[in-house]
A and B are shown apart, each in its own frame.
Chain A
């Protein structure tokens, strides 16, 4: 008994962590499990196992149109936000210049503003300039709220670089451009990749800002929100689970590659 309590108190943090992980993953497991449900109308009660939803993920009306829009918007917004944000991160991480505190505040503000305020204000602007909300207003909005996250992520990577590596390149007669291309950029690349991944998942997952600025363009989160009121089709669970698995594999692969590279060095 005494031993048991001692084991318990020694492993308290671990046990707690296990409970924490169970809590984190319960809805994911639920979503995954119910993607195999042979439900006809609403996916609330377990009916029976089937592969049909996975074989035919576009089976629910409009779901793949919404998914396609989300993917297109995600890729475009990630591309633009990653370029703009990375350029800013280099300026912030590498140069001293006047007006830095103001730029810092401008980068911080979108992260400290509730989504609904950003969504509402953008819609106000689009309306007063006579812009019809649609596909491109969503892309514009997503780039806007992703930039700051890209800057923060890439800047952290730049700050953690060992300056001696670049000095060494210069000592070996590389000029500035070569140093940047062959030393700095490859070293910062993992940070840029992480930022792009973050930007994509923020964009793909966004509902609030999108809902304000989308007009009649459907996106995957919007599809889920609208159909949740009538009962979500199991195909939505299939798509959610696949996105989850794909992202997980990308991140784990990235870690694996990173570790192998570190091992080689």
Chain B
């Protein structure tokens, strides 16, 4: 009798433990199912579409496993593909140059205004992304003050433009993704123990040496996170190129968008999307690996 009771007790406990073991899966299930159905399955659909060819009639495609779609896609838009990475690289670099001192100032030089300034860094993000881009288009545009001033000062000739140039596209990309750079930078700078920097000063390092040997290495995780968060959306963006650029500044996003929504060439667009996604993933992995080893040195 008593052994039977003990037995049920342990069984109940076992049931309880297995219930607890299952709990995280129950918590994860709804979100994971959502991501599988609406993220992974679409990516699979994208992969399967990328090797299809035109069937009977426009917009209908049949699976023929035509991998040459990828070669066609690359040969027809390699200019835009390289340009996307070039612009994204430039924008990320500029964003890093602008954001680092900004994040540094907020983290170390703002005193009791720290939280307010942090809100101000994110605040432009609250105004619609498209409105900000349109605002830049108008500020730099033909009717704007900037171009008129530059013309009066003869920095730009009467025929010169600011909008519809690669400069404007890169400037727009830099601006739009700046908070993605500043926030991770701030987060990693803020975590640095200020005594480390003081110790470096006590050991006769000057400000530059302290920055180079202490602050910068300690903030590297933020630099890595920030550059990734800026580079990825910048490489796939097409709004800036559309609103601030000209036909010669089209990026890969513009090509994908046009092929999907205007030309209705789904396989070509799918192939290009995959090429973009895979090349970004490769770049990201290489970068993370490299910066990871650098951190160790």
The distance from the CB of A87 to the nearest CB of chain B, in whole angstroms, is: 4
CB-CB nearest in chain B for A13: B105
> Complex formed: what's the CA distance from A155 to B34 in Å?
19
Q: State whether B126 touches A88 (Cβ < 8 A).
A: no
**B243 to chain A: which residues have CB within 8 Å?**
228
Find residues 137-196 in chain A having any chain B CB closer than 8 Å to their own CB. Answer: 140-141, 143-144, 147-148, 151
Query: Which of A44, A201, A205, A248 is in CB contact (< 8 Å) with B143?
Result: A44
Q: State whether A87 touches B28 (Cβ < 8 A).
A: yes
Q: State whether B124 touches A124 (Cβ < 8 A).
A: no
With known contacts A30-B139, A106-B35, A228-B243, A241–B102 Cβ distance under 8 A: no
With known contacts A31-B135, A221-B130, A241-B127, A91–B233 Cβ distance under 8 A: no
Query: Which of A23, A116, A240 is in CB contact (< 8 Å) with B253?
Result: A116
CB-CB nearest in chain A for B129: A205
A27 touches B (CB below 8 Å): yes
**A259 to chain B: which residues have CB within 8 Å?**
115
Query: Which of B126, B143, B260, B284 is in CB contact (< 8 Å) with A243?
Result: B126
CB-CB nearest in chain A for B40: A106
**B247 to chain A: which residues have CB within 8 Å?**
none
B39 touches A (CB below 8 Å): yes
Q: State whether B38 touches A123 (Cβ < 8 A).
A: no
Q: State whether A232 touches B31 (Cβ < 8 A).
A: no
With known contacts A20-B102, A114-B233, A27–B109 Cβ distance under 8 A: no
Q: State whether A44 touches B138 (Cβ < 8 A).
A: yes
Q: State whether B24 touches A95 (Cβ < 8 A).
A: yes
> Complex formed: what's the CA distance from A85 to B40 in Å?
17
The distance from the CB of A232 to the nearest CB of chain B, in whole angstroms, is: 6
> Complex formed: what's the CA distance from A124 to B261 in Å?
11
Q: State whether B260 touches A123 (Cβ < 8 A).
A: yes
B131 touches A (CB below 8 Å): yes
B256 touches A (CB below 8 Å): yes
Query: Which of B49, B134, B139, B266 is in CB contact (< 8 Å) with A26?
Result: B139
Q: State whether B31 touches A87 (Cβ < 8 A).
A: yes
Find residues 78-121 in chain A having any chain B CB closer than 8 Å to their own CB. Answer: 83-85, 87-88, 90-92, 94-95, 97, 103, 106-107, 109-110, 112-118, 120-121
Q: State whether B101 touches A16 (Cβ < 8 A).
A: yes
The distance from the CB of B32 to the nearest CB of chain A, in whole angstroms, is: 7
**B73 to chain A: which residues have CB within 8 Å?**
none
B128 touches A (CB below 8 Å): yes
CB-CB nearest in chain A for B259: A120
CB-CB nearest in chain A for B275: A117
> Complex formed: what's the CA distance from A11 to B130 in Å?
35
A75 touches B (CB below 8 Å): no
Q: State whether A103 touches B135 (Cβ < 8 A).
A: no
A128 touches B (CB below 8 Å): yes
Q: Is the interface of A mostly helix, strand, loop or mixed?
A: helix
B96 touches A (CB below 8 Å): no
Q: State whether A16 touches B102 (Cβ < 8 A).
A: yes
**A125 to chain B: which residues have CB within 8 Å?**
38, 41-42, 45
The distance from the CB of A28 to the nearest CB of chain B, in whole angstroms, is: 5
> Complex formed: what's the CA distance from A12 to B42 in Å?
50
With known contacts A21-B120, A95-B23, A151-B31, A117–B277 Cβ distance under 8 A: yes
Q: State whether B35 touches A117 (Cβ < 8 A).
A: no
> Complex formed: what's the CA distance from A111 to B232 in Å?
9
CB-CB nearest in chain B for A97: B24
B236 touches A (CB below 8 Å): yes
Q: State whether A97 touches B25 (Cβ < 8 A).
A: yes
> Complex formed: what's the CA distance from A151 to B31 in Å?
10
**B164 to chain A: which residues have CB within 8 Å?**
none
Query: Which of B23, B28, B35, B46 is in CB contact (< 8 Å) with A120?
Result: B46
With known contacts A21-B120, A116-B236, A207-B239, A144–B128 Cβ distance under 8 A: no
With a 10 A CB-CB cut-off, give which of B35, B108, B257 has the most chain A CB atoms.
Answer: B35
Query: Which of B28, B253, B273 is in CB contact (< 8 Å) with A103?
Result: B28
Q: State whether A221 touches B115 (Cβ < 8 A).
A: no
> Complex formed: what's the CA distance from A225 to B242 in Å?
10
> Complex formed: what's the CA distance from A251 to B125 in Å?
12
The distance from the CB of A113 to the nearest CB of chain B, in whole angstroms, is: 6
Q: State whether A121 touches B276 (Cβ < 8 A).
A: no
B74 touches A (CB below 8 Å): no
**A201 to chain B: which residues have CB within 8 Å?**
125-126
Query: Which of B49, B178, B238 is in CB contact (< 8 Å) with A124?
Result: B49
Q: State whether B128 touches A205 (Cβ < 8 A).
A: yes
The distance from the CB of B98 to the nearest CB of chain A, in whole angstroms, is: 6
**A94 to chain B: which residues have CB within 8 Å?**
24
Query: Which of A90, A106, A224 is in CB contact (< 8 Å) with B134?
Result: A224
Query: Which of A44, A208, A255 is in CB contact (< 8 Å) with B119?
Result: A255
> Complex formed: what's the CA distance from A20 to B115 in Å?
17
Query: Which of B45, B119, B266 is in CB contact (< 8 Å) with A252?
Result: B119
For the complex of A and B, the 9 pairs showing the least CB-CB separation, nearest first, are: A114-B236, A17-B105, A121-B42, A27-B135, A247-B126, A95-B24, A91-B27, A84-B31, A121-B46
A-B contact pairs, 20 of them (CB 8 A): A14-B105, A17-B101, A20-B105, A24-B178, A27-B131, A83-B30, A87-B31, A88-B31, A113-B280, A114-B277, A114-B280, A115-B236, A116-B256, A124-B270, A141-B38, A144-B38, A148-B35, A205-B129, A208-B239, A211-B261
